[in-house]
Amino acid sequence: MGSFVGLVNNEVITKIAIDSTGTCYGISGHGYVVSLTTASVVPIGPVNFPAGGSLMDIAFDSQDRLWGLVHEFVSSSVRRYELYLIDTGSMSTTYVCDLQYSMQAYTSYYGLAFGPGVTKSTYCTAKVNSLGCSPTIAATGYPSASAEFGFTISATSVGSQSSGMLVYGVQGPAATPFGGGTLCVQTPWQRTGPMNSGGPLPAMSDCSGVWSRDFNAWLWTHTSLPPGLDVHVQWLGRDSGFAPPHHWSLSNALKFTLLP
């Protein structure tokens, strides 16, 4: 149950955020420091966004930088959501980027919050492919059990025009001999659909190929996993430069924690 602190003078402050020191900032058309014990305010300065822009929410990140989410009305059929950094000393604003959103779902954003940091690490050893390269796994973004996109897992130094798939499991790591290399994901595991690495045609094969998959998007459309799980993934593909049963290409592996 909440406790009443007080009225914030005559100011209409609709957005507040508290930094790691416990200092509360409030924003309407101006920025203020707001006392959490008396609700009194100390003005800082005006806050300016583009004409037609409406501040939806503010939040501090882990580095105590204040961010603002702005909805800019462009036309009756076009709306834009933007992220700004807000200087807490002067309330000056700096545009950072547009926020990607799904036009099909007509998504609207009303709040802004920063989640926990991404926990991820690589392990295991890639198999050197028939071209002398070691496929290397990497990931960018935020692994989420609920987002429909935003966590891309890739492998570089892959043989060009080769087919590969991402295998993933939640039973832990492994070091199982397979296809002349090491399968690094404990069974039972699942796999994504195959994809082509691109690059030059076989007559000019090199290691410029890339396998890449948005893991959030795959979960969104194919299966579901609860947040909090440690997920292990590895790229597995064909390597026609080796004779069976060693005609496989294997990257090193990646472990990450699936977030909400």
Is 7 among the domain residues?
Answer: no
Task: Identify whether 247 is part of a domain.
Answer: yes
Q: What is the model's pLDDT at position 189? A: 96
Residues 171 and 251 in one domain: yes
Question: Residues near 2 by Cβ (< 8 Å), separated by ≥ 6?
Answer: none
Is 153 or 100 the better-scoring residue by pLDDT? 153
For 227-249, write each residue's pLDDT tens digit.
Answer: 999 999 999 999 999 999 999 99
Q: Examine the domain organization and report whether 75 and 139 are in the same domain.
A: no
HEC states along 161-226? CCEEEEEEECCCEEEEEECCEEEEECCCCEECCCEECCCCCHHHCCCCEEEEEEHHHHHHHHCCCC
Instruction: Give the mean model confidence (pLDDT) for residues 105-120.
Output: 80
Residue 253 shares a structural domain with residue 191? yes
Residues 152 and 224 in one domain: yes
**DSSP letter (8 states) at residue 228:** T
Which pTM does this prediction carry? 0.69
Q: In this structure, are 128 and 21 located in the same domain?
A: no
Of the chain, the percentage scoring pLDDT greater than 70 comes to 91
Residue 132 structural domain? 120-257
Is 215 or 10 the better-scoring residue by pLDDT?
A: 215
128 shares a domain with 241: yes
Average pLDDT over residues 161-172: 97
Is the pLDDT confidence value at 6 over 60? no
Asked if the structure places residue 49 within a domain, the reply is: yes
189 and 156 within one domain: yes
Angle at 31 between CA 30 and CA 36, to 5 degrees: 130
Residue 244 lies in a domain: yes
Together in a domain, 152 and 253: yes
Domain-embedded: residue 20:
yes
Domain contains 160: yes
93 and 51: one domain? yes
CB atoms closer than 10 angstroms to residue 245 = 9
* 3-state helix, strand and coil shares in percent for the chain, rounded to the nearest 5: 5, 45, 50
Please indicate, yes or no, if residue 111 is contained in any of the structural domains.
no
Residues of the chain with pLDDT > 90, as a percent, come to: 73
Query: Are 125 and 253 in the same domain?
Result: yes
Number of domains making up the chain: 2
Q: What is the mean predicted confidence (pLDDT) over 138-151?
A: 93
- Res 5 pLDDT > 80: no
**Do 142 and 228 share a structural domain?**
yes
Tokens encoding 22: 């416990």
**Last-in-domain residue among 39, 64, 98:** 98
Is pLDDT at 109 greater than 90 in this prediction? no
pLDDT tens track for 57-104: 999 998 999 999 998 877 666 678 899 999 999 999 999 998 765 444
Distance CA 176, CA 118 (A): 27
pLDDT at 99: 78
Residue whose tokens read 């440690």 = 230
Residues 146 and 59 in one domain: no
State the pLDDT at residue 102.
47
pLDDT for position 107: 62
Average pLDDT, the chain: 90
How crowded is the C-beta side of 115, counted as CA atoms within 13 Å?
Answer: 13
Mean pLDDT comparison of 5-9, 111-115, 206-210, 220-224, highest-scoring range:
206-210
Task: Judge whether 227 and 259 are in contact, CB under 8 Å.
Answer: yes
